Amino acid sequence: MKTMLYIVLVVSTICSCNSQHKKKRYKMMESFDIEVFDKNKNAMNEYIYQLNDDTVVKQQELSECYYSFLKEKKNLFEYVYEYRKDGVLKSSFRSFPNDFIAGILREYDEKGILVKEEDLEKPFVYSWEDIQNYLFNHKVENIQEQVVRISRWSDEEATTWTLDFYGEYDDVKGRFVVLLNGITGEELEVKMFKGKGVVGKTGTKAVYDILYKK
């Protein structure tokens, strides 16, 4: 009984800490400090700094908005905050860097008040956790080093994941591009990268062998 009580207390403490961490992160990012950014930005209109031992923040100015990207060392995803030119928060979401956005997409009005939430995970019954298991089963031990790209798509016609990675398929090592059904996880197409082919006098294109196609 004491052991069970201890486990419950530990889990409760972890959940409480995670909740406080999320609130603290949001409070810090609910507005964009334009003055600090302007003092520290480089020639590329970027300001990068270490928030703490675990988190790096990259801020960026575009023609119509500002962005803050928070990347924690142990997290494959980064937190993205978009701001209007007056520094008021416009939207927030998670992102698998340069590939796809995830989690809850939140949109805010001109005063920074939350007006809309959309669960971006809802269409993908075959979830991110399933994708990680699929990659692990195909000898991907380090996603950051072995994955070239992961993308996903969902509309009225289809919901899919596309995985581009270095690993194994049917005991063959190489680079593979796999198209998966985003609901069932069924393989729809499997290709193996063979190299670059010549296009015209100076161009190149990727060459693949199709190993499977439904």
pLDDT tens digits along 155-196:
999 999 999 999 999 999 999 999 999 999 999 999 999 998
pLDDT tier at 201, thresholds 50, 70, 90: confident
pLDDT of 19 higher than 80? no
Q: Clarify whether residues 113 and 44 are in a common domain.
A: yes
Q: pTM of the entire structure?
A: 0.81
Q: Is residue 177 part of a domain?
A: yes
For residue 176, the enclosing domain spans 128-213
Q: Is residue 70 part of a domain?
A: yes
Q: Is residue 19 part of a domain?
A: no
Q: Clarify whether residues 115 and 133 are in a common domain.
A: no
Q: Which residues contact 177 (CB under 8 A, 6 or more apart)?
A: 162, 163, 164, 189, 190, 191, 193, 208
pLDDT tier at 214, thresholds 50, 70, 90: very high
Q: Clarify whether residues 111 and 153 are in a common domain.
A: no
Q: What's the pLDDT tens digit per position in 96-117?
A: 988 999 999 999 999 999 999 9
Does residue 4 or residue 76 have the better pLDDT? 76
- Quote the pLDDT of residue 109: 98
Decide if 168 contacts 138 (C-beta within 8 A): yes
**Rounded to 5°, angle at Cα 82 from 24 and 40:** 80
Q: What's the pLDDT tens digit per position in 117-150?
A: 999 999 999 999 999 999 999 999 999 999 999 9
Q: Clarify whether residues 108 and 135 are in a common domain.
A: no
- Quote the pLDDT of residue 2: 46
Q: Is residue 16 part of a domain?
A: no
- Quote the pLDDT of residue 198: 75
Instruction: Calculate the average pLDDT of the chain.
Output: 89
The domain tally of the chain equals 2
72-99: average pLDDT: 95
Q: Clarify whether residues 91 and 138 are in a common domain.
A: no
- Quote the pLDDT of residue 202: 74
Decide if 81 contacts 64 (C-beta within 8 A): no
Q: Clarify whether residues 109 and 145 are in a common domain.
A: no
- Quote the pLDDT of residue 22: 53
Decide if 70 contacts 79 (C-beta within 8 A): yes
Q: Clarify whether residues 192 and 113 are in a common domain.
A: no
Final residue in a domain of this structure, among 94, 119, 144: 119
Euclidean distance between CA atoms 28 and 57, whole angstroms: 12
pLDDT tier at 11, thresholds 50, 70, 90: very low
Q: Is residue 198 part of a domain?
A: yes
Euclidean distance between CA atoms 168 and 141, whole angstroms: 11
Final residue in a domain of this structure, among 119, 142, 166: 119
Q: Clarify whether residues 110 and 158 are in a common domain.
A: no
Q: What share of the chain in percent tops pLDDT 70? A: 86
Q: What share of the chain in percent tops pLDDT 90? A: 77
φ/ψ bin of 197: left (φ > 0), alpha (ψ from -120 to 50), beta (otherwise):
beta
Final residue in a domain of this structure, among 119, 145, 176: 119
pLDDT tier at 27, thresholds 50, 70, 90: low
Decide if 128 contacts 102 (C-beta within 8 A): yes
Q: Is residue 148 part of a domain?
A: yes
